[in-house]
Amino acid sequence: MSNDYKPWTWKVPEDFKPLDYNASRQDGHDKVSGQAVFTRDVTLPGMLYAKILKSPYASARIIKMDTTKAEALTGVRDIIRFDDPDIRLENTTGGYCSSEYNILTLPPTADFYQHPMGVVVVADSEEICDLALSLIDIEWEEMPFILDMEESLKPDSPKIMPDVLRLNAAVKEPNTLLTKKTDIGEVDKGFAEADRVIEYTFTRGPNTVAGIEGMACVAHWRGDFLDIWQHHASHVEQILSNPSLVNVGLSFVSLGYGTIDADVKSPPKERKDPLLPLCEPNRINVTVPYQGAWYGGISWLGYSTAFIRMATIIAKRAQNRPVKLLFDESHFYLTGDDAAIYKCRIGAKKDGTITALDWHVVGPVGELHIDKTHESTCIHNMRNTQEWALINHGPHVCFRHGTQCCVPHNMMFDRVAAEFGLDPTVVALKNDGCQGHDWAWITKYQEENGFPKRHSLKEVIDLGKEAIQWDKKWHAPGAKRLSNGRMHGLGFVYINEWSWMPGRQFACLILRDGKLTIIGMRADFGVDTESAFRYCVAAESGIRYDDIVLQQQRSDANTYRFWVPGGAMGITRNTPQLIVAARQLKQKMLEYSVRPPAPPMFPRAKPGQAAFPGKKTNELDVKDGFIFEKANPTNRKSVKDVAGSFWGDDPSIIHPVVPEVSGLTLDGKPHPRMYIMSRQAHFMEVEVDTETGEVIISNLVCVNDVGHLFNRRGAEAQQYGGAIMGLGRSATEEKIYCPKTGVGLNFDNINYHIGTMNDYPEIKCILNESHLGYSSYGACGIGEDSGAALSGITAGAIYNATGKWVEEFPSTPERVLKALGKI
Amino acid sequence: MKTIKRFEHINAKTIDEAASILKAGNASILAGGTDILGAMRFEILPDYPEILVNLKSIPDMEYIREEGGMLKIGALTRLEDIAKSNVVQAKYTALAEAAHRTASPHIREMGTISGNICQFTRCWYFRLPDNRFDCVRKGGKKCYAMTGENRYHSIFGAVKGCVAVNPSDTAPALVALNAKIKTNKRTIDAEQFWDMVKPGSTILEADEIVTEIQVPTPAKGLKSSFIKFAIRKSIDFPIVNCAAMIGKGEARICLNAVHNKPYRCINAEDVIRGKSINESSADAAGAAAIEKAKTLPGDRNKWKIQLARTMVKRAILGCA
């Protein structure tokens, strides 16, 4: 058992405290000074610009296209039409939208308003591109569009998006992508055991990403070598060089999950014409500049896999001139995968015990909507049925993801609490557990596998309740009117964390001249995971934090890379390898200290001596950049002096490959399962103006159990950002379409009401360390849950304030007024 | 982001010079630029000016002063300056509050009072990029909002077939305060300043330039207030706003964002005039204000009627 890989049992280095607020940030100067270069900012000598047509229609087909006038425009260098032979193969594959279908690369059909499609113009400037696009004469055939998924599911609906590759072999004509049913336990029996069965339906309108940086990719061929400046850091080399992995679609590859075959129960038909490799993998140099507002990560940028291939093809035609391919609409063409109708039945006992649930969802997402509930409760009996059909909303993708799980999860506790007059925190605790096991069972599992005996949900609820004074303020629904005339309400949501597993990454440490470099390509999108990386390596290696830098933006070797998405997965996936590497490096430094350096290059030079002659490695330690004798700390030498003399023959490059988690047991027997034991709870206090429907959020407390805390500043930033994103999605954000034309009407940052910090009160951020994650020192993530869990928090708070349910999200004033019967 | 089409930028030295350039055609005014530049960049209109005449190069266009029994505000005075002005806050409260509630701090630091009252409508059909909808306000034959998505549109019917609303925050305050708009050609009562004129929102002629806002100093005992309902308080245009000036037997109440132009609530004024202001009288006036309100096809804007009633009531209570 000694070889078992259990990073949560690792001993935290002595004096390891979370990173201080005023610690240096590697990206600090660039961003504060305005010098940070984002992908869209990249400019190269002789660079050409390329722009794609965006569809003015929700559903239409190009019948005729005349590019004559655009071609004649001075400065136009190339025009690539949908029917260009160079793009033909790309057009049948496209880029990731979901596990069920892809958005095509440059099709002749428009499937949604602002669909990038039809034609690309390449010119000397952006301005010429815009002008050239306006000079292209296009004859359109408008086609039927559908905005309502229930309409699209009907067998007699018109077929929409006919050219889109359906990836699931079990699709139903004309538009159904997926129907599925999942039962866990004995659902009917569970309902029979209930004291009451509660039924309700709620809907979530279409929302979109917070990304403000429009998609961009710069490609430059130098003979057979390709330089790419990309907008995100998926496995671009695979996408460009290994078409066998992208035989049917780019979906899984674009996520870096592996091959297209993963998890596809009904393999789609094989392509007759597989994609071609565009470049050999070892000739691709990738740079990932700073990334803007990346909330939700690679999933919403999945289309950019197709986008990058297109940029590469365009650049090839540009004959050695770099090309920057741009899409002007930053994100509004995408729609959140929580946009759905949720029809719910809950069986519950009077004490709040949930005996069964049955959720029928008409909406997107291949994942189960009961996933989070199954992972984080002891409820035995669950059913999830789902129907998903194409609609002309723009692709439904996962960003700020998990909302489709978190909202029904928390609505359930709110509804059960309301039904029996209980406090929702009590109902949540009553049903807490993991995968049907109660907390007593989990406690036994914790004991046996080296975890502390902690009850995360109880801890975060206690912390949050105290901070918001829940017990003092809690009241029956609709029972408290404030002196300003508004109704007072409290809301609560919780969820478990997404990122709780350690990862296997491929970063590398190089020690030179006493300075440590971490090499691993990833995208810096502002969440400051980088400081946590530097800090854990500092703590474990003994090198000073400020002597460590992270080289992450460029990869010529295409070898060293970190797990890409955000802070949460950044910590859990990447720190185990960094810590193992830092420990190996420290051991190596100690070994340098007790042996003489290699013979000098020049024979007449005096041979070197060991830095600590006669000492053994276990008698030494490294701290703050110095190697010292434990028994006599004044006997010390700098890392620079010791390790530097070995540089010529041993540059101390460390890149260990870490194993998978192993050695889990229960009752002394091998037990392969892992359980998400950490919880995050959020509390809200609102005032509802019953004359206007306005919901004023007066107090917000976010409590995140991060397992182990590395970087307080970064973690709190994630809490803050996540909360604002979640609140916006709960209360105000909604894409609005013209019912007559299908055109998006508020696809801009004025009319799309994304939450901003100025709209909400100061948030009290509380971090809990239960050490119940499976990653380093028991760390788990923080990134996803706030944005997802808070996406439904207003419903419970409004109910507590008014005694009325707002059953449509976002819970806009209009909907509150409707619920109150005022309109 | 789409590049803005090229245009000639002329720094006018005098109002007369600016007017002569405008008269020659194909030119438009550039004041704070927060509206015109966005309109040009996104190409919301069928035609574009080839020349922008910058008024900021004309001296003495930014001022706030009391003179001759009135408040005079230079046309290029920034909204933030109005919002922070002690004299405006003290005596012309509705205007100070309206300026303060306009947009965000950055925009208020650039946007001018004249730009705020002359801006294009925010109707999303009108504003969609690339002149996507050739609506009636642009010379087309159809108002797409009338039968389309109209949750933010007029509750007092169409004007010349258009149901877009005037989005200005300062406009209702100026009407309530009985202000006048001085141009290079005439002086216009604020109440008469706006209309549905394709594609703009005012009765200004092509070469007519706002030079000054004149607000009579309210008599002692008159109080004014402004209230706004928006989705996000941090930045948004109003869903409904309202300004009121009440006291000494006088009452002027004006809603905005409910109609093509600021909507003077005569019925509400009649109800509250001479009465003591309290919850009951304010509520009655609010009810009177929406007597003529009606929803558009689909009833999507029904909520705005409730909001209008509440805004009137609260604006009145703000004058107590």
Omega before A659 within 30 of 0, i.e. cis? no
CA pair distance A663, A684, nearest whole angstrom: 41
Determine which helix (DSSP H) or strand (DSSP E) holds A49, and give its type and residue range: strand A48-54
Task: Determine if residue A155 is left, alpha or beta; phi over 0 gives left, psi from -120 to 50 gives alpha, anything else beta.
Answer: alpha
Beta bridge partners of B223: B246
Mean pLDDT calculated for residue range A749-765: 93
CA proximity to A231, closest of A160, A157, A162, A306: A306
In percent, how much of chain A has pLDDT > 90? 67
Mean pLDDT calculated for residue range A338-344: 96
Longest dimension (CA), chain B: 57
Lowest mean pLDDT among A203-207, A642-646, B51-55, B178-182: A642-646
Q: What is the DSSP string of A59-110?
A: SEEEEEEE-HHHHHSTTEEEEEETT-GGGTTGGGT-EES-SSBEE-SS-SEE
Residue B247: which residues within 8 A CB-CB, separation 6 or more? B218, B219, B221, B222, B223, B319
pLDDT score of A651 more than 90: no
pLDDT tier at A557, thresholds 50, 70, 90: low
Neighbours of A765 (CB within 10 A): 20
CA pair distance B105, B81, nearest whole angstrom: 11
Structure tokens at A84: 């260009």
Mean pLDDT over each residue of chain A, to the nearest integer:
89
Beta bridge partners of B72: B65, B214
Mean pLDDT calculated for residue range B106-123: 97
A752, B149, B301 from B165: Cα distances, Å: 18, 14, 12
Mean pLDDT calculated for residue range B178-201: 95
The predicted structure's pLDDT at residue A168: 73
Size of interface A-B (CB pairs under 8 A): 83
CB A390 within 8 A of CB A164: yes
CB A92 within 8 A of CB A273: yes
Mean pLDDT calculated for residue range A692-699: 97
Q: Do B306 and A732 touch (CB under 8 A)?
A: no
**Main-chain dihedrals φ then ψ at residue A243, nearest 5 degrees:** -65, -15
Longest dimension (CA), chain A: 96
CB A322 within 8 A of CB A46: yes
A212, A232, A309, A323, B279 from A218: Cα distances, Å: 18, 12, 11, 6, 63
CA proximity to B113, closest of B63, B161, B163: B63
A714, A725, A810, B231 from A732: Cα distances, Å: 26, 10, 5, 7
- Nearest CA-CA distance, residue B10 and chain A, Å: 22
The predicted structure's pLDDT at residue A601: 62
Structure tokens at A364: 């997107």
pLDDT tier at A256, thresholds 50, 70, 90: very low
- The answer to whether the complex's ipTM is over 0.85 is yes
Lowest mean pLDDT among A94-98, A532-536, A738-742, B294-298: A94-98
Radius of gyration of chain B (CA): 19
Mutate which of B132, B152, B295 to disrupt the A interface (most A C-beta within 10 Å)?
B132
pLDDT score of A607 more than 70: no
CA pair distance B260, B195, nearest whole angstrom: 7
- Nearest CA-CA distance, residue B65 and chain A, Å: 32
Q: What is the pLDDT of residues A396-443, one digit of tens each?
A: 877 777 899 999 999 999 999 999 999 999 999 999 999 999 999 999
* Annotation: CATH topology of A39-145+211-330: Aldehyde Oxidoreductase; domain 3 (3.90.1170)
Angle between helices A567-594 and A712-731 (to 10 degrees): 170
pLDDT score of A59 more than 90: yes
Lowest mean pLDDT among A164-168, B129-133, B163-167, B271-275: A164-168
pLDDT tier at B133, thresholds 50, 70, 90: very high
B229 to chain A: closest CA residue: A692
CA pair distance A157, A152, nearest whole angstrom: 6
Mean pLDDT calculated for residue range A327-351: 91
pLDDT score of A228 more than 50: yes
Residue A57: which residues within 8 A CB-CB, separation 6 or more? A110, A113, A140, A142, A145, A741, A742, A743
Q: Do B303 and A732 touch (CB under 8 A)?
A: no
CA pair distance B185, B166, nearest whole angstrom: 24
The predicted structure's pLDDT at residue B195: 94
Query: Which alpha helices (DSSP H) does A246-370 contain, by range?
Result: 251-255, 303-317
The predicted structure's pLDDT at residue A161: 93
Instruction: Fill in the DSSP letter of residue A809.
Output: E
Buried b (16+ CB within 10 A) or exposed e, A384-407: bbbbbbbbbbbbbbbbbbbbbbbb
CA pair distance A410, A541, nearest whole angstrom: 43
Q: Per residue, what are the HEC states of A145-167?
A: CCCCHHHHHCCCCCCCCCCCCEC
B149 to chain A: closest CA residue: A738
CA pair distance A89, B156, nearest whole angstrom: 55
pLDDT score of B6 more than 50: yes
Mean pLDDT calculated for residue range B15-44: 96
pLDDT score of A603 more than 70: no
Determine which helix (DSSP H) or strand (DSSP E) holds A373, and give its type and residue range: helix A371-376
B149 touches chain A (CB under 8 A): yes
pLDDT tier at A455, thresholds 50, 70, 90: very high
Query: For chain A, what are the domain ranges?
Result: 7-36+502-654, 39-145+211-330, 336-500+672-819
Mean pLDDT calculated for residue range A445-468: 98
- Nearest CA-CA distance, residue A326 and chain B, Å: 9
Mean pLDDT calculated for residue range A722-728: 92
CA pair distance A491, A801, nearest whole angstrom: 9
The predicted structure's pLDDT at residue A266: 44
CA pair distance A588, A647, nearest whole angstrom: 12
The predicted structure's pLDDT at residue A566: 61
CB A786 within 8 A of CB A726: yes
In chain B, residues with a C-beta closer than 8 Å to the C-beta of A116 are: none
Beta bridge partners of A324: A49, A218
CA proximity to A509, closest of A644, A654, A657: A654
CA pair distance A747, A737, nearest whole angstrom: 9
Omega before B199 within 30 of 0, i.e. cis? yes
Tell me whether domains A7-36+502-654 and A336-500+672-819 share a fold.
Answer: yes
pLDDT score of A597 more than 90: no
Q: Are strands B187-189 and B210-216 parallel, antiparallel or unpaired?
A: unpaired
Mean pLDDT calculated for residue range A702-710: 96
CA proximity to B211, closest of B189, B186, B194: B186
Of A127, A751, A755, the CB nearest to B124: A751
Segments of chain B assigned E as strands: 8-11, 27-30, 51-54, 64-67, 70-74, 180-183, 187-189, 210-216, 223-229, 240-247, 250-256, 263-264
- Nearest CA-CA distance, residue A368 and chain B, Å: 33
Of B128, B232, B303, the CB nearest to A732: B232
CB A73 within 8 A of CB A135: yes
Mutate which of B1, B37, B102, B313 to disrupt the A interface (most A C-beta within 10 Å)?
B1
Q: Are strands B27-30 and B51-54 parallel, antiparallel or unpaired?
A: parallel
The predicted structure's pLDDT at residue A247: 42
Buried b (16+ CB within 10 A) or exposed e, B171-197: bbbbbbbbbbbbbbeeebebbebbebe
The predicted structure's pLDDT at residue A252: 43
Of B132, B236, B306, the CB nearest to A822: B306
Tell me which residue has tokens 């020659």: B24
CA pair distance A761, A759, nearest whole angstrom: 7
CA pair distance A639, A632, nearest whole angstrom: 17
pLDDT tier at A262, thresholds 50, 70, 90: very low
Structure tokens at A342: 């949720």
In chain A, residues with a C-beta closer than 8 Å to the C-beta of B151 are: 736, 814
Architecture (CATH level 2) of domain A336-500+672-819: 2-Layer Sandwich (3.30)
Q: CATH number for the A7-36+502-654 domain, one of 3.40.50.1220, 3.40.50.2020, 3.40.50.970, 3.30.365.10?
A: 3.30.365.10
Mutate which of B2, B125, B316 to disrupt the A interface (most A C-beta within 10 Å)?
B2
